Structure 1
Amino acid sequence: MRNASRPSTPAVRVMQSFGPPRPTTNPYIHMLDAALAETAGVDHLRFDRRRALLGRYDALHLHWPELLLRGSSPSRTLARRAFAMALRLRLSVTEVALIHTVHNVRPHSDSTRWERRYLAWLDRRVDHRIVLNEQTELAPGAASTLIPHGHYRDWFASVPSVPPTPGLLSFVGLVRPYKGVEELLDAFASTAATAPALRLRIAGSPSSAQLERDVRERAGGDARVELDFRYLTEPEFANVVMESAGVVLPYRFMHNSGSALAALSLRRPVLVPRTDVNEALAREVGPGWVTMFDGALTGADLERFAEGIHPLPTAAPDLSAREWASAGDAHRSAYVAAVARRRGGARS
């Protein structure tokens, strides 16, 4: 095992902010969980509330810290807030280092005033940040490590390959307000006369019944649009991507996108908004895999994308900088740096 290859180095004991991954857990967490379990010099602990308050560990690694504060009911939210205050006390009186992976520049959902105050305190308490791309802006002097989001090739390796369907574009993944699905449908509707053979599939579970109604209304009676609002298993997600000629991700704001990397890992090109992050991704993976649009998505953008990706590029997208074994080792280095910073000393 890889975690036996560094016998002379003390292991850094790190608790993650996630528990045992479930089938519905973000694949990034599944893959990180597996990578850290195999990383030499890391004693990898999944989240446990009792251990978080009373146990011995060197560092706590946060991913989406707002999720620690929210429950599925008012009573559970109250219980989580009580735990959060107890955790704050523990972090205030001990030398537990705090690491935060900056997945999003800001939370995707609205937060309460209490949550904003708590998250602001957490942000001040963080010793080290992990960023997924070079474009993430941090406060001057903030300690950080760049660890690119790993690829999904191994994650989807067991899913049989299927050929793309010419002219079929897809949006795939959880349907959220910030992802711009309504604007995608408006843009697609404008192609009815100029690209009648073009098809669009929306596949993924909406975040609310109201959003589902809005999307259905936008789709109208366009027979070229297919709506599949089921929660997709990972093989189903992969099949939707592979059956598509290309994947459209018209997010209103995009900083890091696991869906884009998943599509590229499955060798399907993506259409995404033009941002510094996406321009860097296009350079990284090679020509033909990342197409960008400027401003509001239009029907012309969709038509150009559909024309430009047929046939698919012959060379696979270059994802060599996103190997999970390298990510595990890089996380260990970040953990060691965070612990040293918190304790004011050196640890190798």
Structure 2
Amino acid sequence: MTGEPLRVMQSFRAPRATTNPYITMLDDALADDPTIQHRRFSWAGALFGRYDVFHWHWPEGKLHGTTWWKSAGKYALTALLSLRHRLSRRIAVVRTVHNVELPDDNTARTWLLRRIDAQTDHRIVLNTTTRLPAGTPHTLILHGHYRDWYAPQLHRDRVPGRLGTFGGVRRYKSVDALVAAYADAVSIEPDLTLSIGGRPSTPELGDDLRRRTADLAGVRLQLTFLSDAELVELATTSELVVLAYRFMHNSGSVLAALSLDRPVLVPRNEVNESLAREVGRDWVLMYDGELDGQALVSAWRSASRLRPGDRPDLSLREWGDAGTAHADAYRAALANKRPLEAAARPAEVLA
């Protein structure tokens, strides 16, 4: 089937309203590329369908159901899919390295995730600092911005003194550390306020956050999943978006804030240093060690000096070429999987 588009199956289904915008925008970009036949995930298609490339995003998401028996069933199906990929000499496996470490999970799930990782023929990294073993086939495709995605929403004016944070509330995101730093910061700048938006990963985490903020003035909690309109309102009314994560590698929340022309305060690491050089150091402010009130106030003072209309430089993160870049990565993966075919027909698209 020389010259026909590559058949590429993604690990994600048709996007919904609550789907990560990165996936939705990637879905659109892939659908627009004429050199690939873009297929969304289904168990029947993945296990029995014909495709040339399978592209994993967050494979751990395939291992969990709403009940123990659904989780067991999904584990069995994922194991069968992994077995199909291991036995196939024609299906290339691509994985986007969204996270550098495997998630904490039980022994069986961790074993299967390691097996999936070992079967990967080609990796896509989203930033220049992702570390891979020497000689690992990979392609760099920078995480795209969200400017077009949020353009339909109402962008509001900054509220003087407003700090904001958004995204799913999880322990590694250290919202508790932000609250403690805010409590110190208002003793220095009493006019500061704080908006926190996002759904807690557990009810206990939400209850703990309510207790921590009960006696703090100026704190607004919105502990639910934020719609696009709600996220844009929270971010654009903030003079500074604070993301006090214990570990940060590929953060969609950072890019969301920058796409809405709001500076971010993040922990200092190699990834964020690189991002600051790329988009402008006035937009990516960093702290060392644990976040404290003085660091929070200092970053807010810097952020408040930005003028209305100033924008970070996101020119390297346009979505226009994302489909083409992924298609090139798929062809490279397939050439690695089928080297004899690639050598025989180097100018042709393998199918």
What TM-score does the superposition give when structure 1 sets the normalisation length? 0.95
Measure the CA separation in 1 of the matches of 2:123 and 2:44.
25
Secondary structure at the counterpart of residue 163 of structure 2: strand
Deviations 1:291-313 (A, max 9, x none): 00000001011100111111325
Aligned match of 1:226: 220
Task: Work out which of the residue numbers 141, 145, 148 in structure 2 matches 1:151.
Answer: 145
1:82-231 → structure 2 map (5 Å cutoff): 82-94=76-88, 95-107=90-102, 109-231=103-225
Deviations 1:4-48 (A, max 9, x none): xxxx95311110000011111111101100110001311100001
Secondary structure at the counterpart of residue 154 of structure 1: helix
- The structure showing larger relative contact order (alpha-carbon pairs under 8 Å, at least 6 residues apart) is 2
Measure the CA separation in 2 of the matches of 1:198 and 1:244.
11
Contact 1:203–1:229 at 8 Å: present in 2 too?
yes
Measure the CA separation in 1 of the matches of 2:281 and 2:272.
13
Moved more, 236-245 or 211-220: 211-220
Report the alpha carbon displacement of residue 71 of structure 1 after superposing the two structures with TM: 1.2
> Aligned pair 1:296/2:290, yes or no?
yes
Q: Which amino acid aligns with 1:253?
A: F
Unaligned runs of 5+ in 2: none
Contact 2:261–2:310 at 8 Å: present in 1 too?
no
The RMSD of aligned alpha carbons is 1.3
What TM-score does the superposition give when structure 2 sets the normalisation length? 0.94
Moved more, 309-318 or 84-93: 309-318
> Aligned pair 1:333/2:319, yes or no?
no
Measure the CA separation in 1 of the matches of 2:80 and 2:188.
60
Secondary structure at the counterpart of residue 89 of structure 1: helix
Q: Which amino acid aligns with 1:130?
A: I
Q: Point out 4+ residue stretches in structure 1 off by more than 3 angstroms.
A: none
Deviations 1:125-167 (A, max 9, x none): 1000000011111112110000000000110111122111010
Q: Which amino acid aligns with 1:149?
A: H
Unaligned runs of 5+ in 1: 1-7
Aligned match of 1:250: 244
Deviations 1:23-82 (A, max 9, x none): 111111011001100013111000011011111100100010111111121011111111
Aligned match of 1:267: 261
Contact 1:40–1:329 at 8 Å: present in 2 too?
no
Percent of aligned pairs sharing the same letter: 47
